[in-house]
């Protein structure tokens, strides 16, 4: 799969219009969520029309404009964050293709409120606000490919395209705190230790795969 228009067009949007999601958009989202939950063993839920997942501490004007969100949850496991990041990337890009904007929120929301409102089981890791944005956002400041990636020998086209896509992924605080190293058809990803490393890892892996083509390489164990 080439780097999609959705990847290039997606930017964080933190303020939303008070415009409800049409039924067909909700149906398309729900069906994709079901697929991703099945593939990733997660319990991602969609909350529409008045999701109150930002506690009083975070009730900023822009957060108050959020009407819909995904609650990113699942049975606790050491790789849960990564699987939610991976499935979440797929859902953010699906939402973008449906004409929506998104905002991955790993910290500034209430896990309790999100679990209560959605009925999601297991550990809640993040929420992803979604809806019709007040703007389309702007491209994040990005590192250069050579700052995050290296290849043993001359890099094949798939590796270069994978890195380009990985740099489009959302990461915590926009830090892009990951590296990608290629050798033959094997790619190693490392994320700097942090509370958000697992989520970043899943998000970046999804983007790299979409850019590089899943059949061209394998992830190093």
Ligand X SMILES: Cc1cc2nc3c(=O)[nH]c(=O)nc-3n(C[C@H](O)[C@H](O)[C@H](O)COP(=O)(O)O)c2cc1C
Nearest approach in angstroms of CB 109 to ligand X is 7
Nearest approach in angstroms of CB 156 to ligand X is 26
Nearest approach in angstroms of CB 152 to ligand X is 29
- 2/107 with CB nearer ligand X: 107
- 91/172 with CB nearer ligand X: 172
Nearest approach in angstroms of CB 103 to ligand X is 6
* Secondary structure string (H, E, C) spanning the chain: CCCCHHHHHCCECCCECCCCCCHHHHHHHHHHHHHHHHHHCCCCEEECCCCCCCCHHHCCHHHHCCCEEEEEEECCCCCHHHHHHHHHHHHHHHHHHCCCEEEEECCCCCHHHHHHHHCCCCEEEEEEEEECECCCCCCCCCCCHHHHEEECCCCCHHHHHHHHHHCCCCCHHHCCCEEEEEECCEEEEEECCCCCHHHHHHHHHHHHHHHHCHHHCEECC
Binding site for ligand X (CB under 6 A): 11-12, 104-108, 137, 140, 170-174, 196, 199-200, 203
- 10/182 with CB nearer ligand X: 10
Nearest approach in angstroms of CB 107 to ligand X is 3
- 117/217 with CB nearer ligand X: 117
- 40/171 with CB nearer ligand X: 171
Residue nearest to ligand X (CB): 106
């Amino acid at each position: 799969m080439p780097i999609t228009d959705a990847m290039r067009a997606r930017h964080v949007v933190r303020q939303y219009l008070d415009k409800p999601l049409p039924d067909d958009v909700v149906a398309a989202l729900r069906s994709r969520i079901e697929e991703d939950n099945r593939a990733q063993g997660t319990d991602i839920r969609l909350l529409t029309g008045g999701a109150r997942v930002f506690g009083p501490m975070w009730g900023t004007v822009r957060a108050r404009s959020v009407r819909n969100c995904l609650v990113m949850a699942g049975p606790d496991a050491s790789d849960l964050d990564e699987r939610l990041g991976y499935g979440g990337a797929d859902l953010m890009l699906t939402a973008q293709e449906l004409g929506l904007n998104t905002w991955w929120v790993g910290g500034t929301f209430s896990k309790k409120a999100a679990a209560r409102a959605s009925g999601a089981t297991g550990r809640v890791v993040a929420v992803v606000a979604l809806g019709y944005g007040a703007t389309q956002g702007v491209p994040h400041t990005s590192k250069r490919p050579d700052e995050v990636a290296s290849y043993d020998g001359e890099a094949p086209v798939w590796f270069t395209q994978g890195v380009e896509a990985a740099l489009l992924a959302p990461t915590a605080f926009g830090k892009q705190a990951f590296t990608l190293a290629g050798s033959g058809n094997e790619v190693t990803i490392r994320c700097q230790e942090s509370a958000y490393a697992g989520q970043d890892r899943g998000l970046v892996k999804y983007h790299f795969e979409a850019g590089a083509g899943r059949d061209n390489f394998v992830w190093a164990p």
